[in-house]
Chain A
Amino acid sequence: MVQLLWLIPALPLAGFVILAPAGARLPRRLSAVIGVGTVGVSAALTAWIAAGFLHGLPDHPAYSRVVWSWLAVGGLKVGISFYLDALTLTMMLVITGVGFFIHLYAAEYMAEDEGFSRFFAYMNLFVCAMLILVMADNLLLLYLGWEGVGLCSYLLIGFWYADPANGYAARKAFVVTRVGDTAMAVGLFLLFDRLGTLQIQDLMIRAQGAWTVGAFLPTIAALLLLGGAVGKSAQLPLQTWLPDAMAGPTPVSALIHAATMVTAGVYLIARTHVLFTLAPAVMTVVAVVGAATLVLAGFSALTQKDIKRVLAYSTISQIGYMFLALGVGAWAAAVFHFMIHAFFKALLFLGAGAVIQAMSEEHDMFKMGGLRREMPLTFWTFLIGSASLAALPLVTSGFYSKDLIIWQAFASVQGGIGLWAAALAGAFLTSLYTFRMVFLTFYGPTRTPVAKQPGQGMNIAMVVLAVLSLCAGFLEIPNTLGGGVHLFSGFIQNALPTTVLAVSREAYEGLFEWISGGTALLGVAIIYVLILRVPDFTAALAGSPTGKVLHRYWFGGWGFDALYDRILVRPYVFLARIDKDDIIDSFFDLMSWFGGLAHRVLSTTQNGRMRTYAAGLAIGAAVVVGMAVLL
């Protein structure tokens, strides 16, 4: 079974290798078959391996497999080697499973696009890199996947490169995440220097042996890794790139900027959880960053006009929940929410894509409306996704995953009432902005006629994800509801420790579920009144002086872009401008001048006259013979 593990990332890589050079010459159908098929076969293989893995539990909670030796320098030996446990398997199932349906959707969504096979080449490369990231058994290979997904993210955000704005968004995403990646690289150097290995499992054991809880070094190492996670997962203070990343095609937003890549930070923290438990201060930082991000992004999502930007801020906010869960040691809840979020957020992006195509590339929700009647299937699946995102009680998966986090933010020994309040405020904001989006897009009067209905492939992808958004939550039902089901946390316990709940708080579980469930419903009711019943009052509220200021701040993501522009971008540009002709530049100018000179001199010798060449040959031969004789 695990012998075939290497095939799972290798198949999408093969798709990339075929499509990248030959893509434009292949017929579109063949490109689609290669692009979608490789991911599909990977998904099937992953499912087969998952079945084998479940069969081997609990005797074999982890497998590792060395495929190749990558490099061996001094004490550093790095292999292309994979590690399979419950956490990796969950990630792999989401990446290949959700990835396959998004590819299927994209085969139709992008059908008219000029860069059709280029798109699938990049998407396949992304799936390969993401799989390497989660399957790596050492941090260097993980870093390879980490940078690989960053590269694919850059390529796909700037996919429509003819528009300079898209290129700018791609560069922004690349540079901002690079800030975090640099911190992470420094963290890897520190870990290797102090502990002498990059094998994750060895590293965790050695860290436990060498360091005490709360010591200086594990704190620094965990902080540096957190830097990488914060950059990749678009958390405060490096969240600014994700809303702009919506410049890419919608399937890209669904796969990379909602379901998989942006949760790499969550994976990294969960994977190195031992290190983080050695640094309780950093755990608190993780929880606070998550809580702050989820609230701030929630406010921003509430004011956006562009349907995809709402979803982008919502993604930042939901990943904030995952960070909050990680920070309070609710590992299983974080991974569970990652999985459920991948289902419903991918679904919402796919639905948004269908709507955007129907509106002839219109992103503004205020120009949509009334689509409930025109696109019933899209409406119903989108509604299911939204209900799951807003965590409407009992029927949606989002309820089970998100309320688990909200509850454990309070009940965990590291949790507290402050974190719980932030999470609850976030849940309220979530149901506000989610149903604002639904009501603006699908209710009210029709403002733009429907130009194009989604086809078969798109519908299949949306329906499958909608079913998952409804049903996947039943893997984990709290004790207060009919005795409880703990299939998921039982499964993930093979890789991650269980959450320690404070004994004094356990009794309140039922009450807290009532509160969070009620909050979600209250949010829907309030936004229903505000958008559909009293739109004039809402407009007046937004138009008041205070409302205007708040709206401006929230709409612009709390002014982070302007702040970074002022304190980082402008000083840098200024320095670059005044430093244009320094001595280093002169050195390179001199080199280019010398190159030009040599070119002019040598090109005069190429005068095309055979006699000159013959003379040159004769002189050269004479010199060589002369040297041989004389020396």
Chain B
Amino acid sequence: MITVPTSHALFLAGVLFLLGLMGVIVRRNIIFILLGLEIMLNASGLAFIAAGFHWGRPDGQIMFLFILAMAAAEVSVGLALVLQLYHRIHTLDADQADKMRG
């Protein structure tokens, strides 16, 4: 069996995390921001899996299950907030929701 080196898996996780972060920062559509967040979460989950595999312990997989559950909750709350936001300002542009500027 060919094993993937841990460093490759971590590199992939890092790239995914940065892609997700870019999505959060660059995209203005709030749905895509949520997608970016989701990618970041999964990138960290991947890093956990890789680390768990590297040390030969189940902790990484358990953490991934936690992250999955958290991501599901985050999406449901996040989408409810998006609905409310759209209801109020009639756009999905996150930059329009800047009422709290100093």
Contacts and interface: CB of A to CB of B under 8 A. Distances in A.
Does B bind A? yes
A629 interface: no
B100 A611 contact: no
B27 to A, nearest CB: 8
B101 interface: yes
A230 B34 CA distance: 78
Interface in A219-255: none
A585 to B, nearest CB: 31
Contact of B25 (A603, A607, A618): A618
Contact of A608 (B24, B33, B101): B101
B100 A608 contact: yes
Interface in B67-102: 94-95, 97-102
A602 B99 CA distance: 17
A606 B101 CA distance: 5
B28 interface: yes
Interface in B18-36: 21, 24-26, 28, 33
A608 B101 CA distance: 4
A583 interface: no
A351 B44 CA distance: 85
A536 B21 CA distance: 101
B102 A611 contact: no
A48 B98 CA distance: 70
B24 A607 contact: no
A618 B26 CA distance: 13
Nearest to B94: A610
B33 to A, nearest CB: 8
Contact of A615 (B25, B97, B101): B25
Given A603-B102, A618-B21, A610 B28 contact: no
A607 B98 contact: yes
A609 B98 contact: yes
A611 B99 contact: no
Interface string A574-614: 00000000000000000000000000001111111111001
A448 B5 CA distance: 107
A608 B99 contact: yes
Contacts of B25: 611, 614-615, 618
Contact of B98 (A604, A605, A608, A615): A608
A610 B98 CA distance: 8
A331 B97 CA distance: 80
Contacts of A602: 102
Say which size band chain B's interface belongs to. Answer: 10 to 19
A611 B101 contact: no
A611 B101 CA distance: 13
A604 B98 CA distance: 13
A615 B95 CA distance: 13
A610 B25 CA distance: 9
Contacts of A603: 102
A610 B26 CA distance: 11
B18 to A, nearest CB: 9
Given A614-B24, A614-B25, A607 B101 contact: yes
B102 A606 contact: yes
Given A614-B25, A615-B25, A618-B25, A607 B102 contact: yes
A497 B26 CA distance: 91
Nearest to A602: B102
Given A603-B102, A606-B101, A611 B21 contact: no
Contacts of B98: 607-609
Contacts of B101: 606-609
Nearest to A611: B25
Contacts of A608: 97-102
Most A CB within 10 A of own CB, among B26, B94, B97, B102: B102
Interface string A612-627: 0011001000000000
A615 B28 CA distance: 13
Contacts of B95: 609, 611
Smallest CB-CB A-B distances: 5 pairs: A606-B102, A608-B101, A608-B98, A603-B102, A608-B100
Interface of B: 21, 24-26, 28, 33, 94-95, 97-102
Given A606-B100, A608-B99, 8 more contacts: A602-B102, A603-B102, A607-B98, A608-B100, A608-B102, A611-B25, A611-B95, A614-B25
22 contacts: A603-B102, A604-B102, A606-B100, A606-B101, A607-B98, A608-B97, A608-B98, A608-B100, A609-B94, A609-B98, A609-B101, A610-B33, A610-B94, A610-B97, A611-B25, A611-B26, A611-B28, A611-B33, A614-B21, A614-B25, A615-B25, A618-B21
